[in-house]
Amino acid sequence: MAYSDKVLDHYENPRNVGSFDKGDTNIGTGMVGAPACGDVMKLQIRVNDEGVIEDARFKTYGCGSAIASSSLVTEWVKGKTLDQAMAIRNTQIAEELALPPVKIHCSILAEDAIKAAVKDYQDKHAS
Ligand code: FES
Ligand code: FES
C-alpha cells in the first residue's frame, strides 16, 4: 500500500508525541481502540482558563495512517475551543491525508479520540 506524502511526513516526523503529567488537572485524556484492527490511540488535550486547547499529545499503537491521523489532529486542535474540537470530522482528516478507503477507520479513530479527550475533560470539570 502506498502512503500519501502527508501520511509519510506525519509518520516520519510525528508532532506532539507523548503524554502530559498525570497530576495536571487541566488535561483531558481519550483512549480509543479500533475493533477492525486492534490499534489503540491515546490523545490528550490541555485546556486553558478560557476553555481553549493550548496543547495536545498523542501515543498511537497502530498503522502509519493512524499515527498520521493522530499527529494531524494534535496540530488541528491547538487554539480551538472544546466545541470546535468536537466539530472535527474524520472526513476532514481523511481528505487532508488522502487516505484510501481501507484506511478511513484510522481517521475515525482520531475523531473518536479527540471527542473522548474533550468528554473526559468536561466530565472532570463539570460543576
Ligand atoms: Fe492496524 Fe494496520 S491494521 S496497524
Ligand atoms: Fe487500523 Fe489504521 S488504525 S489500520
Cα(55) to ligand 2 centroid in Å equals 25
**Annotated catalytic sites, by residue?**
37, 106
Residue (of 45, 30, 108) closest to 82 by Cα position = 45
For ligand 1, atom 2: residue with the closest CA: 63
Cα–Cα–Cα angle for 122, 51, 116, nearest 5°?
35
70 phi, psi to nearest 5 deg: -70, -40
Domain ranges of the chain: 6-124
How much is the ipTM here? 0.71
- CATH class for the domain made up of 6-124: alpha beta
Over its length of 127 residues, how does the chain's per-residue pLDDT go in tens digits? 578 999 999 999 999 999 998 889 999 999 999 877 889 999 999 999 999 999 999 999 999 999 999 999 999 999 999 999 999 999 999 999 999 999 999 999 999 999 999 999 999 998 6
Give the closest ligand to the alpha carbon of residue 69: 2
Is the pTM above the cut of 0.95? no
